Amino acid sequence: MAAIFYTAIFLISGVAVIRMQLPKKSPLERVFLGLALGLLLEMQLPALLAYLFDFTLTAHFAAAGAMMLIVALAYFLRDRSRPAAFSEYDRKTLSALAVIVIPLTALSAYLQYTHMIMPEADGSYWCGQSTYGDLCMHLSFITSMENMAFPPTYNLLYGTSLSYPYLADSLSTTMLMLGMDLQIAVIFPGTLLMAMVYAGYGLLARQIMGSRQKAIIAAAALFFFNGGLGFLYDFDMAGRDHFEKVREIFTGYYKTPANQPDLNLRFSNVIADLMIPQRALLGGWAMGIPALMLLISSARERSMRQTLILALWASCLPMVHTHTFLALGLFSGGFLLARLCMDRDDRAGVLLRAGAYLGIVLVLALPQVLGNAVRQTIEGGSLRLQFNWVNNSRGMGMIDGYLWFWVKNAGLPFILVICACLEARRRGHADIAAGMAAVFVVAETILFQPNEYDNNKLFYIWFMFAMILAADYGSVIMARLAGLRGRYVLASLFMAASMLSGGLSIAREAVSGYQLFSASAVEAGRWIRENTGKNDVFMTGQQHINPVCSLAGRQIICGSDLYVFFHGLDYSSQAADCQRFYEFPQQNEYVLEMYDVDYLYVSDYERAEFDVNLEYIDEHYDLVYQNPDVRIYEVRDARAAQQGE
């Protein structure tokens, strides 16, 4: 209850700030922007104040006080215009939003519940297909940041600072610290952020297309149920194998039609494979969509007030989701360049607002980017040129023809996008098309992380707008076909072909279930959390399913290469040191002192990864906990005794 009350303070305060600053906006936009601002500041303020008070309850109480000061400042600087009233235009939009937000949020709540350490009767924790890989990493951030001194440390690699965008995870840490169970602390903000994405996307579509309900709903359906033409590979010649490939969609591990690397199907469904497992991306979209809305309205309404709010908003994004921040910057560049060409009578105003926007972002956001993303991307050697993304994997030549690659991955709407861009100027979308082009060109030519697939986090911002333009152009076609009896049949077939792969991928997630932590691992994690110190260091194996770092939030020497490698970190020495000690502890006891190790963790995973010299460890270190699968040894007293000798 305390966590919900704390969140409500920020949400209500955010709505109050936006009402005072942007009263001319419609009530729907004011409420959405206010809720988003409240969540953004609930993430940002405690993290900022943690540099003074650590990430403690003191920092959170100070953040609530800072929120009240922001409300007071907003009142002092308020726009005294009469607030816009709820209109028929808003009523139509609200109907469309209800169709989008209510069912998708209900679906998301169910997926969050089944995919985020769902407890079973035997005491084990389960997850879904898409969260089996990433969830343990996010849990390690969530549990380790409690009372952590800032700047935050990376508990998956000893001696490393946390350069990953962590604010979406720290929101769950806040919930945990304010009394929520770990599972609910993950589910509650996750579901709330997904609802914000659905509502924001509907309002973004309205901003571009107006209050055409069918077009807004169609855009949302095309975006959230994306998946390309992968279903063709599953249904092709299905009668010959008795629909075995179709059944395998619901039983196999990553056999969904939207995500098949072997078939070069790489444009994964946004709900199943992005929003559910990738919490930083989820936070980035929830906070990035309102920033994009402010960008568009500030330029089209020639509003310096909105520009300044946008600049401050954008400056908070790097540690929410760096890719969203980069995509916002790229889109802003293309969009504002187009506005400079379009607003011939206000070019000085465009330049003034763009200069203010850029100047504030450089001052406030550049230190964050230099301290995190740049170190990981440039110093880690990840930045490189590669044309046509994963279709030219490792620069070894195209796998599919260029146009076919995008048609089969983005689906039939990609054809509409091309047509819509050709008509963009006539339809009044030239600035949107220019912003999309800036994102697309960079994502198609420059890679920023070791995993080339991660450029999809840029492509999907392009795809957000692409599906809006596709729906807009589709509505034009439907209008031109007025009187043709078969037009609704054609539209239905088009939507079915565009959504089937995504729908099957989401359905697979809904029925998926995998054990993540065994009952023994859960018990061990609980014991560690309750009986060891917050700053104690554990030596473990490199398994990604690790209760020490994920459930207990303790520092380990070296985590899974599934995480540390793709974060651009050099972990070779830490990994080698762990192996040396487990296998030859007598000759390598200096490793314990080098990393200031307090506890040794030996489970089935360590015994499978290393040839553990358990006989020596049992003889020389104190066994302080054991269950059928896990043994934990305290080593600091033994180290002290050896040093005393």
Longest distance between any two alpha carbons in the chain, whole Å? 96
Q: Which residues contact 438 (CB under 8 A, 6 or more apart)?
A: 330, 331, 333, 334, 335
In a domain, 363, yes or no: no
pLDDT tens digits, 565-574: 888 888 999 9
**What is the tally of structural domains in the chain?**
1
> Token pair for residue 600?
């040794």
Does 163 or 250 have the greater pLDDT score? 250
> Above 90 in pLDDT, residue 375?
no
Per-residue CA distances from 506 to 256, 270, 355 (Å): 9, 9, 43
Q: Which domain holds residue 621?
A: 518-644
> Token pair for residue 507?
């359905």
Residue 602, beta-bridge partner list: 631
In a domain, 63, yes or no: no
**pLDDT number for residue 539:** 98
**pLDDT number for residue 369:** 85
pLDDT tens digits, 148-160: 999 999 999 999 9
**pLDDT number for residue 263:** 94
> Token pair for residue 161?
């600072």
φ, ψ for residue 157 (rounded to 5)? -150, 115
User: If DSSP codes are grouped into helix, strand and coil, which group holds residue 623?
Assistant: strand
Tracing tokens 């912003």 back to the chain, one arrives at: 435
Give the whole-angstrom CA distance, residue 528 versus residue 586.
Answer: 26
Q: Which of 466, 468, 491, 495 is nearest to 481 (CA)?
A: 491
Give the whole-angstrom CA distance, residue 412 versus residue 196.
Answer: 27
Q: Which residues contact 77 (CB under 8 A, 6 or more apart)?
A: 21
**pLDDT number for residue 431:** 97
Q: Which residues of 529-559 are buried (b: 16+ CB within 10 A; e: fewer)?
A: beebeeebbbbbbbbbbbbbbbbbbbbbbbb
In a domain, 212, yes or no: no
**pLDDT number for residue 213:** 94
> Token pair for residue 171?
């929101």
In a domain, 233, yes or no: no
Containing H/E element for 538?
Answer: strand 537-539
In a domain, 544, yes or no: yes
pTM of the entire predicted model: 0.96
**pLDDT number for residue 644:** 53
Q: What is the mean pLDDT of the chain?
A: 94
Give the whole-angstrom CA distance, residue 497 versus residue 390.
Answer: 23
CA atoms within 13 A on the CB side of 378: 7
Give the whole-angstrom CA distance, residue 195 versus residue 564.
Answer: 31
Does 203 or 452 have the greater pLDDT score? 203
Average pLDDT over residues 396-424: 96
- Reduced DSSP (H G I as helix, E B as strand, rest coil) percent helix, strand, coil of the chain, to 5: 65, 5, 25
Q: Supply the CATH number for residue 638's domain.
A: 3.40.50
φ, ψ for residue 584 (rounded to 5)? -135, 65
In a domain, 555, yes or no: yes
> Token pair for residue 368?
């964050």
Containing H/E element for 517?
Answer: strand 514-517
User: If DSSP codes are grouped into helix, strand and coil, which group holds residue 321?
Assistant: coil
Which residue type, as a one-letter code, is found at position 207?
Q
Q: Which of 291, 296, 613 is nearest to 432 (CA)?
A: 296
In percent, the amount of the chain with pLDDT more than 90 equals 90
In 109-204, where do the E strands start and end?
118-119, 125-127
Residue 515, beta-bridge partner list: 126
Cis bond before residue 151 (omega within 30° of 0): yes
Backbone dihedral region of 243: left (phi > 0), alpha (psi from -120 to 50 degrees) or beta?
A: left
pLDDT tens digits, 579-629: 999 999 999 999 999 999 999 999 999 999 999 999 999 999 999 999 999
Q: How confident is the model at residue 637 (pLDDT cuts 50, 70, 90)?
A: low
> Above 80 in pLDDT, residue 642?
no
User: If DSSP codes are grouped into helix, strand and coil, which group holds residue 219?
Assistant: helix
CB 371 within 8 A of CB 322: no
Does 520 or 396 have the greater pLDDT score? 520
User: If DSSP codes are grouped into helix, strand and coil, which group holds residue 486?
Assistant: coil
pLDDT tens digits, 310-351: 999 999 999 999 999 999 999 999 999 999 999 999 999 999
Q: How confident is the model at residue 519 (pLDDT cuts 50, 70, 90)?
A: very high
Rg of the chain (C-alpha set): 26
**pLDDT number for residue 180:** 96
Average pLDDT over residues 195-216: 96
**pLDDT number for residue 372:** 65
In a domain, 206, yes or no: no
CB 117 within 8 A of CB 125: yes
> Above 70 in pLDDT, residue 640?
no
Average pLDDT over residues 56-78: 98
> Above 80 in pLDDT, residue 489?
yes
Average pLDDT over residues 201-228: 96
In 295-442, where do the E strands start and end?
384-385
pLDDT tens digits, 532-558: 999 999 999 999 999 999 999 999 999
Give the whole-angstrom CA distance, residue 37 versus residue 7.
Answer: 12
CB 184 within 8 A of CB 113: no
Annotate 80-130 with three-state secondary structure.
Answer: CCCCCCCCHHHHHHHHHHHHHHHHHHHHHHHHHHHHCCEECCCCCEEECCC
Alpha helices in 372-455 (DSSP H): 373-374, 402-410, 413-422, 424-427, 430-445
In a domain, 566, yes or no: yes
CB 579 within 8 A of CB 610: yes
